[in-house]
Each structure stands twice: as C-alpha cells, then as structure tokens.
Structure 1
Amino acid sequence: MNILVTGASGQLGSELRELVKNTESEFTDKIIKNSKFFFTNKDKLDITKKEDIEKFVNENSIDFIINCAAYTAVDKAEEEKELADLVNHKAVEYLANVCRQKGIYLIHISTDYVFDGKNYRPYVETDKVAPQGVYGETKLKGEEAFKKAGAKGIIIRTSWVYSSYGHNFVKTMLRLAQTKDELGVIFDQVGTPTYAKDLASALLKIVSLEASNEKSLQDSVNIYHYSNEGVCSWYDFAKAIFEISGNNIKINAIETKEYPTPAKRPHYSVLNKLKIKNDFNIHIPYWKDSLRECITKILND
C-alpha cells in the first residue's frame, strides 16, 4: 500500500515519519510496516496545484493520503487571507477531487477553530460551526470542499498541537525559561493540548483499520475529534511545562483582554472524543502524561 503524507515537515508530519521509521519498536502493525510512505513538503509536492497532485499520485500509485499540510499562522492569516485560503481551502479541494477521481482514501486534519468557543460542554462533531477569524474560516471551507467533492475519507479536528518538532507553545515556554524569571499566561482560554505523536499513532491505526476492511471504507466524509484527554487553560499548561522541566519561574494568570492579538481565539476549545474512540478503538492518553513524554524527549535530544 502506498501512503502519501503532505505537510511532512510540520509537527504532525514529522511525528508520523518518526513512528513509521521506528515501526520495529513502536508500531508493529503489519499493514503499516509493509506500506510505502511518501513524505512530502511544498518542495516535493505543491498541493496548491491540482496538476502536481495528479501527477504525483499517478506516478506513485497512491492508495491513501494523510493531509497534514496547513497554513497555521493564526494571527498572520488575518493579513494573508489569500494564502491561508489557498492552503487551507483550495488545496484541500484539489486533493479531495483527485482522491474521488482515483479512488484514494483521504484523511484531512482540521481544527477546533471552526467553533466560536462559546460552548459550555465539550464540542461534538455535529455542533454548530462558527469560526471567528480567517484561519478558522479557511479551515472550515476546506472541510466543506472535501465533503462536496464526494471523496471517501475522514476529517479529524484537533487542538493545541505540540511536539518535539517545529514551533509550538511547549518549546516557546522552554525557551523563555532560559531568559525570563516571570511570565504572564492567559487563564481564561480553556481546551486540551494534543501531543502530535499521539495523534500520529491514531492516524496510523485508522489507516490500518480502513485498509484491512476491519472497518468498511465509508461512502461519505465522516468528522472526528481528537485531542489528549483532560482539560486545562494555557496558564495550567504553562505551569505543567515548567514543573515537568524543573524550571522555577513565576507565572502570572492574565485575561485574554490583557494580551490582544489580531485573531480572536476561542475561549472554550474542549473536544469530545467519544466518537473516534468508539469507532476505531483508540486509547487516548491524558495530556500531562503525554506532555511529560514530549518534554523528556526535547530535553534529551
């Protein structure tokens, strides 16, 4: 089986690559071990050009695509609307149309930013969407384009992604710990961190299940939510990062209004994961346990 992973230089794509590389020790699934993976970034495959996608999937007989590519600069997207739309919307449309034409199964990664963050309970997949900024709007348009295309596959919305790779909140806090004695961190935005390695592992399990027909290939696009288990604020997240890494820094809890940003953030981003756990028998780790694993890896590298 031939599997294309787009956005392979990002956090999730990098974790997928490492898991696949370490299949002997970390992922023993036979289907995954016997599959050929194509990890691409923009230099190897420009997914904003439909003809490039068609050429690549034809030349490499692709069976599955995991689309990890995204424009994720939330604040910058307010200025670079066309670029954000091209990557988060039009590129997904091109991928989905090629997948429908070629019978390729598509897994697309989306975001909690499709919601307005005004909920009082964890968001389920059928809750009303109402993005508050360009990033969320373009990601939602990508979801809708995927569904409209009629390709087989799933959309997975996630939140607060971090990893030992790339730029993220965890690595920013660890870097600031080297130069700061005191920090202000927002306490009135609540959600759940997602360790990209955990999501990558879940993706490989889903691919294996779909490929082995233990689950039938779905005729329509299904939406799922995935983050680690538990709930915290950015303040709680930062406190845990410093405690686990052994950094003694004073953290002040601040309100969102004290830290204005070009893009509006959802105040509540907790996702209900029951559907993905039931449909694919996926175990999801608690956020602090995964954070400890990631920090240990960062500090030991």
Structure 2
Amino acid sequence: MRILILGASSYAGQAIAKALINKYEVYGTYYTQKINCLDENKVFQMQLEDTDSIKRILDHVQPQIIISSLRGDFQLQLGLHTIAADYLLPIKGGKLIFISSSNVFDAAMEKPHYESDKTNSQSDYGNFKIKCEQLLQDKLNERCVIVRIPQIYGKNSPRILKLAEDTKNNTPIDTYPQFYVNYTTDIQIAEWISYIIKKDLGGVFHIGTKDTCDYMRFQLELSKILELKEPVFQKEESLEKCFQAVIPGRTEIPDELQRSVTDVLEYLGHVQE
C-alpha cells in the first residue's frame, strides 16, 4: 500500500512517517525542511500555491491513502485538499486522513468534547479546520477520516523547546488557571493513525488524553519533570472553569493506546533525558 503524507516535515508528520515506513510504502512532501527518515526518492518539495506540483506528485506516487498534516495559508490549503480529495474519488479503497484540531470547539468551552459533538469555533484557525473537515466529508464520505488533536508534546517538540527557553530567561508565560485542556504526543498520534489504517477505520477520532489538566498546573509539573527553572507565570484569571479538550470516545481504540495526563508527563520526562 502506498501512503502519501502531505506535510511530512511537520512535527506530527515526521512521527507518522517513522511509524509507517516499516509497514507500507511511504512518501512525503516538504516545504523547506527535508524528512530524514524517508528515502530521498520518496520526498517531494511542494508549495501550496503550486497546484500543478501536487497533481504531479499524486500522478507519480499514486497513493491509496493520503495523510494531511499541512500548515500554511488557509485558502491555499482548501484548494489543495480539494485536489487531493478529487484524486481519491475514483480509487477503490482510497482514503484521506485529515489532522484537525481542538480549536473546532473553541466557541463552546463549557465542557470537554467528544467525536459526536457539533463543532463551533470563534477563531479563524478553528473555522478553517471546520471548513476542511466539511469539504473532505462531503466529497469522500466514509472514506474521510478526521483526526482532532489537542496540544502536541514530545522529544524536542516546539512547545518543550519554548518552555525551556522561557524558564531559562525568566520570560513570563501566559497561563490560565481555570483553563482545562487535554494533551497528546507525537508518538500517540502516530500509533493511532497506524492502528486506524491497519483496521481500516473511518469517521472522527479524538487523539488525546482521556482526562484534562489545567494549563498552569501542567506547565508546572512539566517544568519539574524536565528539571527546568520554575516558570514565571502571567496569569489570566477566569471566573468560570472552561475547557478546550477533545476527549477520545471511540471504543474501537484499544486500552494500550489510551493515555492519561500522568502518562504523558511520565513519557516526556523519559524521552527528554
């Protein structure tokens, strides 16, 4: 089976590629940074505005599965996803896995959200993700898999590198004591997508911890585990408890792939050693 990862040079994209290369024929695209885990003849430079390049790549690779971990201009991404979905339409068993975000619920923060909840966003980013979800579902129906993720952490992840820099320099970190979120890692995302492909699952999946933790407490605990200086927080108080959490509710995913906030913290302490 041939798999094409759009945005394979992204943090999540690289982890997904590493998880799949020993099981499938994996190809990937990048913008400026190449993907070290893939053979040079299986990576292609691609710019969002160059629609001819994505068409050439699709014709060359002829993937049965496309995984989208793209970033960049929202309108250009919509156009590129349209091309990818149209390419898959006549392919029997063709599937597109789209990595979405917890921001699709950022206008409905009174509770955590499960896969069946109606999306509702007040941000440009969240509304863009909703548009992409709807576009792909309308075109591909059950052959579209939506993967919604919260904040990603992992070895040398951008968030950990920034936390280390901010604590070292005593830079105030914006935090929200009443803001509860759930978390994921690059490895968990890769494991779930590998399982979804193996079992040929469809629909919407929330990949993250099954519980939540307020952002300030998580940053404190993470700093201790990583042996960083104690963060200097700039608190934004809220009168009411609020959530931006995409809780996994799909029963098809086995227990060994589920994670708690404690699991994530323990994992991060181990991989950063």
Q: Verify same fold: TM over 0.5.
A: yes
Q: TM-score, normalised by structure 1?
A: 0.75
Read off the aligned partner of 1:272 and give its amino acid letter: I
Secondary structure, aligned partner of 1:175:
helix
Change beyond 3 A, Cα 1:41–1:48: same
Check whether the contact 1:68–1:108 (CA below 8 A) recurs between aligned residues: yes
Secondary structure, aligned partner of 1:132:
coil
2:158, 2:243 → 1: CA distance? 23
Q: Write out aligned runs for 1:62-77 (5 A).
A: 62-71=63-72
Residue matched to 2:226: 245
In the alignment of these two chains, the number of paired residues is: 256
Change beyond 3 A, Cα 1:158–1:181: closer
Check whether the contact 1:11–1:162 (CA below 8 A) recurs between aligned residues: no
Secondary structure, aligned partner of 1:56:
helix
1:122, 1:41 → 2: CA distance? 34
Q: Write out aligned runs for 1:115-194 (5 A).
A: 115-150=105-140, 152-168=143-159, 170-180=160-170, 183=173, 185-194=175-184
Shift of 1:51: 3.7
Q: Pick from 249, 261, 271 the counterpart of residue 274 of structure 1.
A: 249
2:48, 2:229 → 1: CA distance? 44
Shift of 1:184: 5.2
1:13 and 2:13 correspond: yes
Structure 1: 4+ residue segments shifted above 6 A? none
1:256, 1:167 → 2: CA distance? 25
Q: Structure 2 regions of 5+ residues with no counterpart?
A: 33-44
1:42, 1:107 → 2: CA distance? 20
Check whether the contact 1:161–1:196 (CA below 8 A) recurs between aligned residues: yes
Check whether the contact 2:108–2:120 (CA below 8 A) recurs between aligned residues: no
Check whether the contact 2:109–2:243 (CA below 8 A) recurs between aligned residues: yes
Change beyond 3 A, Cα 1:250–1:202: closer
Residue matched to 2:258: 284
Change beyond 3 A, Cα 1:209–1:287: same
After superposition, give the CA deviation of every residue in 1:105-136 in whole Å (9 maximum; x if it has no partner): 11101111111343443212232222111111
Residue matched to 2:36: none
Change beyond 3 A, Cα 1:139–1:181: closer
Q: Structure 1 regions of 5+ residues with no counterpart?
A: 22-32, 72-82, 258-265
Change beyond 3 A, Cα 1:295–1:13: farther
Read off the aligned partner of 2:254 and give its amino acid letter: N
Q: Pick from 198, 217, 226 the counterpart of residue 207 of structure 2.
A: 226
Check whether the contact 2:12–2:69 (CA below 8 A) recurs between aligned residues: yes
2:174, 2:47 → 1: CA distance? 39
Read off the aligned partner of 2:13 and give its amino acid letter: G
Q: TM-score, normalised by structure 2?
A: 0.82
Shift of 1:149: 1.4
1:46, 1:101 → 2: CA distance? 25
Shift of 1:240: 1.3
Change beyond 3 A, Cα 1:7–1:294: farther
Change beyond 3 A, Cα 1:141–1:59: same
1:287, 1:147 → 2: CA distance? 31
**Comparing both structures, which one devotes a greater share of its residues to strand?**
2
After superposition, give the CA deviation of every residue in 1:179-224 in whole Å (9 maximum; x if it has no partner): 22875522232111111211111111111111xxxx5xx5xxx222
Identity percentage over the alignment?
A: 17
Check whether the contact 1:184–1:254 (CA below 8 A) recurs between aligned residues: yes
Check whether the contact 1:164–1:171 (CA below 8 A) recurs between aligned residues: no
1:296, 1:34 → 2: CA distance? 26
Q: Write out aligned runs for 1:53-64 (5 A).
A: 53-64=54-65
Change beyond 3 A, Cα 1:112–1:41: same
Shift of 1:54: 3.0
